[in-house]
Structure 1
């Protein structure tokens, strides 16, 4: 039995709200890079990018960030060259902020590059951080036990998040 915590409709609503928050934060920018952490974080970043393109004139550039979640100290790669996001506004996106390890190593990777503005966004913040990292934009904050796991499933017309 899956304990659904976000329905497809709620994910759509939260994606729109985060997109508007990003737009308000980056109102002075002409371009914003939405960098999603593979796999589900990148899917969520695609949804945010689509929404931002609908509601604004911002040039939205999508970037996939590959982090080894079992060993986040491993080399991090991105689908864009460093020069393509240098001195630009960037939002690092993941689906679930759990311990904070993946997000903080992602943040560290982008700190080596000068950016005009840098924010983070997650669909679900679990409030279990081991690292001092926060999400600037979040769909939902949820206090869960360490034994519980949150899965986000992105399907074409039926995305949802559940607790197991």
Structure 2
């Protein structure tokens, strides 16, 4: 093994991801029972892949309107955040979805475009959450929570619309 080859440990297989998404979908459904509508806002990239798979599970559990929007932001420079398609989020339940919560910064900035409205509720969901938080954000729904060192990195890998696994390296 060369010095440039990182050691990777799989923390979630594709089937693990499916089971965890089903469990989180049940939790989301329980927390939104009786609501007329849910807006699922996926963070661009892998967050949208997680959001779409979650929505497929939610549609089997909830007989309500589920809208999907995409949050566009640069995770390294998240000051500019936009949502497509644009809509009025006042009075709506919003679920912000991403693949990994590292420091909490992305989820914190992901709330920004909704603050010009008065949503009924904003919830967050991540497939994998690290225990090191720099920003005061915790996820409402978590597939896997890990204690990691600051030097370790978590990546979620996708193939098209499918999540193939999550890795610690």
**Aligning the two structures, in what range does the TM-score lie when normalised by the shorter sequence?**
over 0.9
Q: Does 1:6 align with 2:12?
A: yes
List, as ranges, runs of 4+ consecutive aligned residues in structure 1 with deviation greater than 4 Å: none
The structure that is strand-richer by fraction is 2
TM-score, length-scaled by structure 1: 0.93
Q: How does 1:40-55 map to 2 (within 5 A)?
A: 40-55=46-61
| Rounded Cα–Cα distance in structure 1 between residues aligned with 2:52 and 2:111 | 19
* Residue segments in structure 2 that go unaligned for 5+ positions in a row: 1-6
Deviation by residue 1:40-87 (Cα, 9 ceiling, x = unmatched): 0111011111110122212111111011111111x211112132x332
Q: Does 1:97 align with 2:106?
A: no
Secondary structure in 1 aligned to 2:29?
A: helix
Q: Is the 8 A contact 2:17 2:163 kept in 1?
A: no
Deviation by residue 1:4-37 (Cα, 9 ceiling, x = unmatched): 0001111001101111111111112111001010
CA RMSD in angstroms, aligned pairs only: 1.3
Task: State the structure with more CA Rg.
Answer: 2
Deviation by residue 1:92-133 (Cα, 9 ceiling, x = unmatched): 011100011111011233222211111000001101110000
* Residue segments in structure 1 that go unaligned for 5+ positions in a row: none
